[in-house]
Structure 1
């Protein structure tokens, strides 16, 4: 399993704020996905959660940049990718682990639309630490996939003549285009290929 990245814990100022905090992050995610980073205002988010803008700034004193960054870190890095990594620790065998990883990653909106949102946000977010957090999502996903394939190579479960980095790129490309494809089909094509066994033996 990956070692968790060290970062300051983000969250509400007190446990009593947890419900409002989660509502704000979820509403912000929906608005950012619908309108892009630049197209969303703090007032719109406050209206969506039915709180005063002053309450929003209580949770996110640095404004929209702070809110967007904490949304990415909390919903995608901490709860999303870290949760997948933890779940994979309970599985055995490459096929089972790859199936769990694929189905889990497909529940995260990491398609091209999402990547465009991240690029849009990075153009407007100036704080270096916030930039690092945004980039950490992509890096954590890549580390997760690379760790799976590297372990499989080391265990002799997959061929070693193809570099792990190339396998990761192939897998991530398939994943981006697989929103409507069954997980089992993606895993089967990746591990078994598309040719019948008799055809594979001829080459």
Structure 2
């Protein structure tokens, strides 16, 4: 027997969200439409607009879910660090950059695409800033507020350049800016 449909289909909203995430990760914001989501989720077109009246509602919900997963990953990463020296934090952050680029490339590309889109679409700004806020929250455990914000911006730059580069950055390319911020003069 196939999946239930209509009111007896309590998983419909979840299928719509999962389909939205797959579309965004595969093709970015430009690939998102109610019709594409309905097709991907295997639901009638009206179901997508029932749960999400506009594409921005759908995009916002999907980005928030992706951001929540990123937050869980970052919080787990931060909790596993224990007590680190600043030099140790440089190495841990470099490991994080390398792992994110290697393991979460589609989600990173989407996060930067969202940030760019938010420059022209103010309604996307809150969702676009969730990644940076999570980074700051996790980094504040290991440093002060000002340094955490600076590190978040350096991480964004490192990740963006790593994604755009024809050749992956070297370890020194990654640790250099982090060390300049965390261990100047060493």
Normalised TM-score (structure 1): 0.58
Aligned to 2:127: 133
Which consecutive unaligned segments of at least 5 residues does structure 1 have?
1-13, 154-162, 194-199
Please state how far the C-alpha of 1:85 moved relative to its aligned partner.
1.5
Please state how far the C-alpha of 1:74 moved relative to its aligned partner.
0.2
Residues of 2 paired with 1:57 and 1:71: CA distance?
A: 14
Determine whether 1:71 maps to 2:62: yes
Aligned to 1:189: 176
Residues of 1 paired with 2:33 and 2:129: CA distance?
A: 23
Residues of 2 paired with 1:98 and 1:56: CA distance?
A: 39
Does structure 2 retain, via aligned residues, the 8 Å contact 1:31–1:45? Answer: no
How far does the alpha carbon of each residue in 1:55-87 deviate from its partner, in whole angstroms, 9 at most, with x for none?
Answer: 2234x3323111100111001x11112321223
Normalised TM-score (structure 2): 0.62
Residues of 2 paired with 1:82 and 1:40: CA distance?
A: 25
Please state how far the C-alpha of 1:97 moved relative to its aligned partner.
3.3
Task: Summarize the Cα distance change of 1:124–1:191 in structure 2 as closer, same or farther, 3 Å threshold.
Answer: closer
Please, which of 32, 57, 70 is the counterpart of residue 49 of structure 2? 57
Residues of 1 paired with 2:152 and 2:15: CA distance?
A: 38
Residues of 2 paired with 1:30 and 1:83: CA distance?
A: 18
Does structure 2 retain, via aligned residues, the 8 Å contact 1:28–1:71? Answer: no
User: Which stretch has the larger CA shift, 116-125 or 85-94?
Assistant: 116-125
Aligned to 2:156: 172
How far does the alpha carbon of each residue in 1:3-37 deviate from its partner, in whole angstroms, 9 at most, with x for none?
Answer: xxxxxxxxxxx99517614532323313651xx34
Does structure 2 retain, via aligned residues, the 8 Å contact 1:81–1:140? Answer: yes
Residues of 2 paired with 1:15 and 1:80: CA distance?
A: 29
Aligned to 1:115: 112
How far does the alpha carbon of each residue in 1:118-164 deviate from its partner, in whole angstroms, 9 at most, with x for none?
Answer: 442564564xxx6423333333334444x26626x9xxxxxxxxx72
Residues of 1 paired with 2:111 and 2:48: CA distance?
A: 24
How many residue pairs get aligned? The number is: 163
